[in-house]
Structure 1
């Protein structure tokens, strides 16, 4: 794990402009050494200049102490070092000042200008000192030694600290850039993790909704027919025993069909849970919600869950057996559709018939199915019930989720769903599902 920019800034708690107390102590130590050096060199400078030695010592001490501000004002340190070069003072201050200047964020032209000034100052002073030494007889080497010594001395005191400072500054900027990138990547990873969690929560919610919708479609219609047949069985049990036996057989068939569909759905849910555990190592953000939905559809197709349009006549026949007057009309050329489309069309008709049993018992119902070029359309329309309140005779509850579930199914496939009362007092459910 990398530390963020805020944590790095929090660690910088040194005094004044220093990032840390350790840096401040190091600069004060350098300044003290430089002050001692300049003060010692001030003795010779005072004697050559003909001023009191104490003045030369104080001047050297003050000049050397400027090194303490090298991090905040490196230009000032280099300028002071250049100014005292003729007095042969501040060698340490010159080296450290040039290094700090080259390692700073200042423009390269400023660094080059000050380094050139320092180089020329050292070159001239060294040239003059070596010439004076040869004139006084202390050096008996040839004249070629004067420029050579001046050039070597000036380059030796200028080039190494500048080059080292440039290298350290570049490396420091590189490390800062890498740290910023690491911080940015960490923030992006956190954001991706949050988005992945949101997508996972959304996918779980969608899956819960889908399961609830399937359970509603499977159970509601079968149980509604069972309740209707049970009510009819109770009414004719004493008057017509043979009809009561037929109704009881129908109730048993309905119950077995409901149990069969529930077993199939539970089997799919169990196998889907095993697949989810096997794929738990795959990040949800990389797979995506679309891939998860595709995998869910693949599981459905593999286990053969859900009815098809071929069973539509049987569905209408069950409602007719329960006492509903219902007719089915099919238009266009019958063809096979994708499993998801056929299942949705079947569920829409099934739920619409269930609503007729609940809210308009005894009403005549028309079921229309149209096969078109690039779509399939279905419509379930019931006339007004013969007696107001007859829907409550069977005691069928309503959760109010049937129409919502139908619309969700149709819209998920890119279709259009419309429902509402008719002018005659009945109710109509229409849906159109595209089929490439």
Structure 2
């Protein structure tokens, strides 16, 4: 078989041979062809009236052309056609036609050269048969069709098999190369899919960590902030007003129990929907799907909604803050995640008021607009006489609120007001995008 372009470009290839056995095969065929042509050249020299040594040398050089059949198959076929009248180079013609048909030469060139070789062999065969018949006894008188028909059969029997076999080998080689390229392409696609699955798994893990951080911040920061405020009030009125101290102590206990309840619910979800680690042969795609499903399921877990806003504001009132709740429009059936996000935004905004603006008046506005829910928490300037509760701040409250709202396709804005206070505004669409979109 002829060497492909990939074989010729292979590292360590010898000239145009990609493998050592290909070179050995071509050298052997060239030596056999050179010996055949040298013997036939001696006979041709006798007919042409030239020295036999010159004829043998000419035949040897002509037969050696077969050495370059893989590199220049057209040259080999043309040489075999040129020396056909001299009745030499039959092996070179057969091997040359096979190599030409199996190579990457355009089919039209192969058809033209195969036709030329067929005509040349047919003419030479017909002439030799007539000469042989003429040299026989006078009683043998073949019909006019005998010589051309027999010459045609001999020509087709000599040229058709190598051409057909070469076409078959070439088609088979091209098929194998296309299958190999397709396998390489599939391997690259699988590698890309594995990388994408790993990215999805990484994204799901990061999203789950951010969700846990937001939930922990909301649960712990708000409840504990109110507990600290009530504890400070309890300390202040413990001796002056025992009854009020008892009420504050009861509020602190209720808030602590609520915080523990929410923490237990969240930890229960994490235990049930834990994300498998990328180890031990777990498929990355399965990890990504499990992580995304865990995040989506955890996001839709039961939690406080819009109906709990009045109780949330009442807790802040009991802590000494002046909180007004204004509701506009009629409430609809919202997705659980929308209600919980709206609740958490208001909760975090009130927590920031307790931390950074104790004693300030707060207005909580909630507007139902059909396709979206809008909320705004605005506080006035802090009362200069109010004592600072000394609550720590990590600076993640506003970031967490914005992440929650943007994740649902909403808009979040926060900043100081002209009156010296602070305002937090958010608009959340009622239709919740599917988790994992845009990854």
Match of 1:427 in 2: 422
Query: Is the aligned partner of 1:378 residue 2:380?
Result: no
CA apart distance, 1:333: 2.1
Q: Quick one: structure 1 residues 193 and 9, their matched pair in 2 at CA, closer, same or farther if it must change by over 3 Å? A: farther
Match of 2:24 in 1: 25
Q: Quick one: structure 1 residues 123 and 266, their matched pair in 2 at CA, closer, same or farther if it must change by over 3 Å? A: same
Q: CA RMSD in A?
A: 2.6
CA apart distance, 1:22: 1.7
Task: Judge conservation of contact 1:82–1:121 (CA < 8 Å) in 2.
Answer: yes
In the alignment, structure 1 segments of 5+ residues that lack a partner are none
String of CA shifts for 1:275-322, please: whole Å, max 9, x gaps: 999xx7683599699xx36x6444554x52x10111111111111111
Query: Is the aligned partner of 1:313 residue 2:310?
Result: yes
CA apart distance, 1:111: 1.1
Distance between the aligned counterparts of 1:52 and 1:226, measured in 2?
122
String of CA shifts for 1:380-427, please: whole Å, max 9, x gaps: 111111117x56x32201111111111111122222221111111111
Correspondence 1:22-61 to 2 at 5 A = 22-61=21-60
Query: Is the aligned partner of 1:200 residue 2:201?
Result: yes
Task: Judge conservation of contact 1:192–1:285 (CA < 8 Å) in 2.
Answer: no
Q: Quick one: structure 1 residues 299 and 45, their matched pair in 2 at CA, closer, same or farther if it must change by over 3 Å? A: same
Q: Once superposed, which parts of structure 1, at least 4 consecutive aligned residues long, lie more than 6 Å away?
A: 5-10, 274-277
Q: How many residues align?
A: 423
Task: Judge conservation of contact 1:12–1:20 (CA < 8 Å) in 2.
Answer: no
- Partner of 1:333: helix, strand, or coil? coil
Task: Judge conservation of contact 1:14–1:24 (CA < 8 Å) in 2.
Answer: no
Task: Judge conservation of contact 1:223–1:255 (CA < 8 Å) in 2.
Answer: yes
Distance between the aligned counterparts of 1:7 and 1:353, measured in 2?
71
Q: Quick one: structure 1 residues 335 and 58, their matched pair in 2 at CA, closer, same or farther if it must change by over 3 Å? A: closer
CA apart distance, 1:149: 2.4
TM-score by length of 1: 0.90
Match of 2:100 in 1: 101
CA apart distance, 1:7: 9.6
Task: Judge conservation of contact 2:9–2:18 (CA < 8 Å) in 1.
Answer: no
Query: Is the aligned partner of 1:87 residue 2:89?
Result: no
Task: Judge conservation of contact 2:207–2:295 (CA < 8 Å) in 1.
Answer: no
Distance between the aligned counterparts of 2:46 and 2:5, measured in 1?
55
TM-score by length of 2: 0.90
Task: Judge conservation of contact 1:13–1:21 (CA < 8 Å) in 2.
Answer: no
Match of 1:217 in 2: 218
Task: Judge conservation of contact 1:365–1:383 (CA < 8 Å) in 2.
Answer: yes
Task: Judge conservation of contact 1:416–1:433 (CA < 8 Å) in 2.
Answer: yes
Distance between the aligned counterparts of 1:325 and 1:42, measured in 2?
119
CA apart distance, 1:63: 0.6
Distance between the aligned counterparts of 2:6 and 2:201, measured in 1?
31
- Partner of 1:377: helix, strand, or coil? strand
- Partner of 1:72: helix, strand, or coil? coil
Distance between the aligned counterparts of 1:227 and 1:131, measured in 2?
123
Distance between the aligned counterparts of 1:296 and 1:164, measured in 2?
62
- Partner of 1:24: helix, strand, or coil? helix
Match of 2:255 in 1: 254
String of CA shifts for 1:74-118, please: whole Å, max 9, x gaps: 111111111111111111100000111111111222111111111
Q: Quick one: structure 1 residues 232 and 185, their matched pair in 2 at CA, closer, same or farther if it must change by over 3 Å? A: same
Query: Is the aligned partner of 1:172 residue 2:173?
Result: yes
CA apart distance, 1:274: 7.3
Match of 2:436 in 1: none
Query: Is the aligned partner of 1:333 residue 2:330?
Result: yes
2:356 pairs, out of 352, 355, 359, with 359
Task: Judge conservation of contact 2:99–2:166 (CA < 8 Å) in 1.
Answer: yes
CA apart distance, 1:28: 0.7
Q: Quick one: structure 1 residues 196 and 20, their matched pair in 2 at CA, closer, same or farther if it must change by over 3 Å? A: same
CA apart distance, 1:179: 1.2
More helix by share: 1
CA apart distance, 1:259: 0.3
String of CA shifts for 1:325-379, please: whole Å, max 9, x gaps: 2122222223442211110111111000000000001111111222223222211
